[in-house]
Amino acid sequence: MAVKERYIVNDKGEPVEVILSLEEYRRLQEAAGEGPDPDEGLSLKPGVIEELLQMEADYAAGRLKVKSWEQVKRELGLTDV
């Protein structure tokens, strides 16, 4: 897709902003991984926040053991990741 360059310039004639078509803007967002949030508008199931807070408290108290990402990769044989 050819992009027609359009700029807003300051009083010295220097470009300070770019004007893009909505189509080009969305294409650039998608290419940058910044598309629309797929989770937007969704809500958590009841009790999820409470569960997360309890897990955080258990971890802080030493009742919950977690593995590092490095350890998980080693165990799964994903050493190149």
Reported as a single tens digit per residue, the pLDDT across 25-50 is 888 877 877 766 777 778 888 899 89
pLDDT, the chain, mean: 85
Give me the pLDDT at residue 57, please.
92
- Which two tokens mark 78? 């994903």
Give me the pLDDT at residue 10, please.
93
**Average pLDDT for residues 55-72, to the nearest whole number?**
89
d(CA 33, CA 13) in angstroms, rounded, equals: 33
